[in-house]
Every structure is written in structure tokens, then in C-alpha cells.
Amino acid sequence: MLYLMGTDLKGVYPALSLLQMILQEESVSLGKKVVVIGGGNAAIDSARTALRLGAEVTVVYRRERKDMPAIEEETAAAEEEGARFLFLAAPHRVIGDVKGNVRALEVVKTSLGEYDTSGRRKPILSDEVRRIECDSVILAVGESVDLDFAKASGLRIKEHGTIEVNHYSLETSRPRFYAGGDLVTGASNVSDAMAYGKQAAKAIDKQLMDADRWEELFPAIRYDQTVPKEVSESRGNIPPHLPPPRRLNSFEEVVSGLSAEQTMDEVCRCLRCDVKAAPSR
């Protein structure tokens, strides 16, 4: 979690807590101007949600746009909907009024230095400070796993704060305890966590049943090396998107499904990039 002076003020929200409150239809008052700190998917989700609640949104990120871990399509959608982005800016402190309400966020201009372990250039703080007036600040950076349970359970933890597991079975240092997802990899996404769950389930079933039944329970789909005889020459089909003005008035799905014609055309496209055999002539 990000530790910043002023985060105890009224109007400062952790991103995940805020999104959960809104999902549960709890009353949330963000005010007219919202600043989101972060460049990941939680930051973009928070920004787009705040826009739908009628706020003006500025996303502050300490690196450049190309360094953002958020999905590019989501970032572009947020821009289409009116979110503003301030890059090369690191949060300095949240400023409040005498009643303890948020009034502004101070940010420090950054420059990029040497590459770090993430493969991105490390932000370097300058002496230039900028003030952004706002009514709320959403913290969408520095999310981490709560390791208290892991420590209490006697699980072995690596230096960088993730749980040590067997690479193949996902079993931890404690027998019959398995772990996956962010707890093992660090910050990632739901798809990766689901894949880890499936991998762990396979190992757990094998241990409990003393037999490898996975192929029997979930037969693998196998393909031959035959190139499709008739291949559609069309490009990938893009599903319809709601126009930005309509998105801001509700929480409707922005991207709808393909039409029947698009679906048929899509399944006719050759997606067999794994084919190694040369086509017959």
C-alpha cells in the first residue's frame, strides 16, 4: 500500500475498497474533481467508475504511458470517456482543509533513470512540485497481499514477499497447503490466478486420489497439423462499442458480443499458428 501524508483525510479511498462499495451500491460521494494515483487496471477501473459518477478525473502516473501495466484498450477507453492523464508525476502529499476533507494533491515531477527489475526505467524525483485541486483521491498503487495468515500458518516466504511453492504442484513448504495467483507471483491478473487454481486443483486431486485422473476428467483438445482447406481472408471482427457519451450515463457493458454473421466469419478464420507442416499443393 502507498504511504502518503494526508491519506487519513476524508475523501481518500483505496481503489479496491471503493470499487467494492460501488458494486454493492453503497452511497459514495466523490465530489466534482477526482485524482487517481496509479497506472494499473485498478487505476483505470477507478477512473472510469468515477467518470460514471459524474466527476472530472485525472490519473497521475510516475512513469510514461508506455510503462503503464494497465490494458491499453482500457486506457484508451478511459481517454475516450474524458479521463485526463498526467505522466511523469509522483504523489507527494494529500492536502486537506480544517474539517479534514481533501482539497488537493501535490505531485512531484519525475524523470526516468536506469532500468529496474521490472524492466522499466526507475522514476527519479525532482524539486518541482505541482498542486492539483480535487475533492477525492483514489489510491490505486502499491496493492499487496496480506501475508499475516501465511506467516501464522508457518509458510515459507521469499524475500520479496511472495510465498514459496513447488513450481509444478504449487504445494507450499507446509504439506497439503497450496498457493497461487498474486500470493505467488506478485501483482498480476484474474486470468493468471484462475490458471494457478486449475494447476493446484490437478495436484490436489492427484494427491487425494493417488492417481493422475486429470486427462480423464478434463480431456485435452488435440489438433492435427492440417492446414484448413478454406480460410477466411477477413481481418479480426471487432464487436460493437457503446459511444462514450452513452457510457457515462450508466454502467452498461461497453463492449457487446459479435453478431451471428461476425461469429461465423470469425470461426472460419485460420487461428492455427501452431501448424508446422507445409500445405499440400
Kindly list the domain boundaries of the chain, sorted by start residue. Answer: 12-139, 148-217, 223-281
| Burial status of residue 247 (CB atoms within 10 A of its CB: 0-12, 13-18, 19 or more) | buried
Which of 24, 22, 92, 21 has the alpha carbon at shortest distance from 62? Answer: 92
User: At 155, phi and psi to the nearest 5?
Assistant: -80, 145
Question: What SS3 class is residue 194?
Answer: helix
Q: Using one digit for the tens of pLDDT, what is the confidence trace for 109-123? A: 999 999 987 788 999
Taking the model in full, what pTM does it have?
Answer: 0.79
Cα 118 from Cα 112, distance rounded (Å): 14
pLDDT (0 to 100) of residue 2? 66
Residues 216/202, Cβ–Cβ less than 8 Å = no
pLDDT (0 to 100) of residue 264? 87
pLDDT (0 to 100) of residue 145? 73
Cα 23 from Cα 12, distance rounded (Å): 18
**12-139 and 148-217 share one CATH topology?**
yes
Report residues of the chain scoring pLDDT below 70.
1-2, 142-143, 277-281
Residues 93/106, Cβ–Cβ less than 8 Å = yes
Which of 63, 46, 135 has the alpha carbon at shortest distance from 95? Answer: 135
Cα 48 from Cα 82, distance rounded (Å): 9
Q: How many C-beta neighbours within 10 Å does residue 248 have?
A: 15
Q: Which fold has domain 12-139?
A: FAD/NAD(P)-binding domain (3.50.50)
Cα 214 from Cα 96, distance rounded (Å): 57
Enter the CATH code of domain 148-217: 3.50.50.60
Q: Strands 102-115, 33-37: parallel, antiparallel or unpaired by DSSP?
A: unpaired
